[in-house]
Chains A and B, each alone.
Chain A
Amino acid sequence: MNATRIASAIALLMIAIGSFEPFYWRIFTRNRARFHDAMVSLPYTKAPGLREHYLEVRAWTRPGERIGIFPTHRRWDGGYSYIYARSLYLLSGREVVPLIGTDNRPRLDQLARADAIAVWRAEPEGIPGFTIARRGKHGMLLRRVR
């Protein structure tokens, strides 16, 4: 066997090792129910209860309503973009609006347009024009007082 043949065999072995996906084999031995639960909560691991909260907000609101996301985190890149981005899918059909901007300033224009405010893990004190409409395990929904 010459050097090129040996090098070719090494290259083939490296490709095989490199492309190998152990998890596609390990899955046969994994607890499926536990893996399911882990994957369901994976996108929300940094915000415990956020998924359940948005599912409740979805049930409490109607399609077409404008829902502001309360700034539990006061900085856009300090957690707010995380909870805002994750509201879009679970609250689809509603118009979800951020209540702070990427510059971390309050978006009073969005607050003025909102029909309701989804509040996750916070107790906002007296937002003018809004009152607590529903309470859940991980948050609440404020509704505009008509």
Chain B
Amino acid sequence: MRRAGEAMLIAAGALWAITLLLDVTGIGWSRASLLVATAVAAIVAWWKRPRTAIEPAPLSPIDLLTVALIAGYALVATAAAPWDFDYLVNFGLKARTFAEHGGIDWAFLRHPPAERAVHPGYPLLLPLLYADVAILGGGWTDRWLGLVHVAFGLALILVIRCEWRTNRHVAAAATLIVAPLALSPWVGTADGPLLAYLTAALLAIRRGSLTTGAILLGLAGCTKNEGLSLIVAVAIAMIVAGRRRELLRLWPALAIAMPWVVIRTVLGIGTDITSGSPLSRALARLADPSSVLGPLAANPIGKPWLWIGIALALVLHRGIVLARERFTLTAVLVQLAFYLGAYLVTPHDVAWHVQWSLARVVSHVAPILAVIAVAAILEAQKNGRLAPPDAASNSPAVTP
């Protein structure tokens, strides 16, 4: 089940890479070129698949509730074409522009109609996945793009379902509790795909599956700029957790994420957050911390019950958390520090930036924090036990 979830996430990344390569190599976008390249990639992936035996995770009747939850999310996500503002001016706009252009419209990215809204420097994973739907469908269509988001949520839930080392009913119940956090309400933006990659990457690296984790980490970096900062956060967390020797094994993350950074630098595609003088903006705001802390305090960060519950669990079981979750917790804290840093250097009005982004960016780390908190509670209650973070095991963590 976990392998299926990770495979779905990596397959989406492979599709993005194929679409990007078809464009930059000059082969071009067509139904035939996309299908042939995808078929070749699928055959290679099948050939190179891990040969270890796969034991299906034992299911529980409680899993039916999670299936119903996913079905409900699918009904919401596909009620209409994505309607989020960021879809209309950013992710969807780019996808539609590229699809109608017949490839990535680099001139559009270099000279966007409204730079502040369009964010030309954002990585292109989600817009290219949307464009793939148009390539395969023979023309732009946005009616069912919500299914892309359902697939990301489903993939993450499959991964989370195998994270609990406890009996199948408790594992199913724990998954049901955390599952809504994997189903991002921001349909049409890259926040759902990013939280899926972020959570799956941290969980993989936490259990010692470094290659898988590094690939997922790299794909997070291809989804949103926050994914690029996550690579740095993970590196710092590995040092803090005493896993310095494993750092080099994260090279796939850089190999996957850096090409876009190079491309946008070479082509002069702007990123608004670093425009002008970020240092002077940061210094000015540090001199007046209330300019950032005020908006942060004034805006909701999602669901207070969730955060209080997570904080309570982490404090109650700090011994377990500090012993087992040093890597994960450090990665999350450093990532949140990057988010705070973004507010310090933003060229926009801080209050405006915080108002329109805080709940979304905090949602990126909600699933992983909830998994840590619930796992700590289960561990402490002796109903189950977490897989040791350094145990590089591919065997299912759930026992019947």
Contact = CB atoms under 8 A, between A and B. Distances in A.
A15 B92 contact: no
B370 interface: yes
Nearest to B187: A39
A25 B72 contact: yes
27 contacts: A14-B306, A14-B308, A15-B310, A17-B309, A18-B306, A18-B307, A18-B310, A19-B177, A19-B303, A19-B366, A21-B73, A21-B180, A21-B183, A23-B76, A25-B69, A32-B75, A36-B80, A39-B80, A39-B83, A63-B100, A84-B114, A88-B88, A88-B93, A88-B117, A92-B100, A93-B97, A93-B100
A11 interface: yes
B89 A18 contact: no
A86 B80 CA distance: 17
Given A85-B117, A93-B100, A36 B313 contact: no
B309 A15 contact: yes
Contacts of B97: 92-93
B312 A92 contact: no
B316 interface: yes
A14 B313 CA distance: 10
B180 to A, nearest CB: 4
Interface string A84-114: 1110110011011110000000000000000
Contacts of A63: 100
A16 B306 CA distance: 7
Main secondary structure on A side of the interface with B: helix
B96 A11 contact: no
Contacts of A35: 79
Contacts of B76: 23-24, 27
Interface stretch (B14-22, B243-251, B372-380, B391-399): B372-380
B89 A88 contact: yes
Interface in B282-310: 303-310
Contacts of A18: 303-310
Nearest to B142: A89
Most chain B Cβ neighbours within 10 Å, of A12, A84, A98 = A12
B113 interface: yes
Interface residues of B, number: 51
Contact of B89 (A23, A40, A85, A98): A85
Main secondary structure on B side of the interface with A: helix
By Cβ-Cβ distance, the 9 closest A-B pairs, closest first, are A18-B306, A14-B309, A18-B305, A15-B309, A24-B72, A39-B80, A11-B312, A11-B313, A21-B180
B316 A7 contact: yes
Given A14-B305, A97-B113, 12 more contacts: A8-B317, A11-B309, A12-B309, A15-B373, A17-B309, A18-B307, A19-B177, A28-B72, A43-B88, A88-B88, A89-B93, A93-B101
A127 interface: no
Q: How large is the interface on A (under 10, 10 to 19, 20 to 34, 35 or more residues)?
A: 35 or more
A55 to B, nearest CB: 13
B178 interface: yes
Given A24-B73, A85-B117, A93-B100, A42 B305 contact: no
Contacts of A27: 72, 75-76, 79
B83 A21 contact: no
B185 interface: yes
A131 to B, nearest CB: 25
A96 B93 CA distance: 12
Contacts of B92: 89
Given A15-B373, A18-B307, A88-B88, A24 B180 contact: yes
A40 B80 CA distance: 6
A89 B88 contact: yes
A13 B309 contact: yes
A8 B313 contact: yes
A35 B114 CA distance: 31
Interface string B307-351: 111101100110000000000000000000000000000000000
Contacts of A4: 316, 380
A42 B188 CA distance: 14
A15 B370 CA distance: 7
B85 interface: yes
